[in-house]
Each structure stands twice: as structure tokens, then as C-alpha cells.
Amino acid sequence: MALQQQVEVCNFDGKLYEHRFMAKILRKIFQPILRIFESGDGEYRYEKSHRKILIAMGVLFLTLSTVSAVLAISSSEMGGLIPFLVFFMVGFVCEVVGLLGSNRAVAKIWGSK
């Protein structure tokens, strides 16, 4: 009920508010991952292209994990699931930080100081 009233307060069809609301929920869910990369007080160097490349890398790693899983299943080798897990976790972290992380998190994952 309260959410419905808050969305109606927005005069621009509520789309921006709903997006921010969903981002807040997702940030809370993935806070353990984001906390690692958003910690720190020092200066950092952030560029928009770093976020775009991070998201693209995440897609590539997720694709690689899918191919790895398909090949592992088709060859009936359980050891082939280890590369799947590694590629999937790297791709997942890249996507979470790229889509939900702060500018500091993106700069930290790139090692920019």
C-alpha cells in the first residue's frame, strides 16, 4: 500500500522511481559482494568506459561459463564443472559490480588509483 502511494506521487509515470527502488533492493541483496569493492577512503580514478568494459567482460565470462558447462555435460566429465564455476563467478561479480556498484567499486575492480 505504501509503495503504491509513493509511486503515485511521481508525476512521470513512476518508472524512474520503480527503477531506483529495484536498484536499492538488489544492492541490499548483493551487499556482501559490493562491500568488498566499495570500501576505502582514498582517491580513485573512474571513467565511464571502465563500467562498460566491465559489463562486456561479465557477458563474455558468462558466455564462456555456459560453453564450458555444455562441453562438460556433453563429455560426461565432472572435472569440467570447475572451469564453469570459476568463469561463472567471475562473470557474475563483473555484472554485479558493473550494474549495481558505485564508481569507487568499478575503479577498485580495475585497480585505478
Domain boundaries, the chain: 31-110
Q: How far is CA 90 from CA 17, 24, 56, 95, in A?
A: 30, 23, 12, 9
Residue 113: the pLDDT is 62
CA distance 17 to 60: 31
CA distance 70 to 65: 9
Q: What H or E segment, with its residue span, contains residue 76?
A: none
In order, the DSSP letters of 37-58 are HH---S-----HHHHHHHHHHH
pLDDT block averages, 10 residues each, the chain of length 113: 44 56 84 86 84 94 94 87 94 93 86 70
pTM equals 0.76
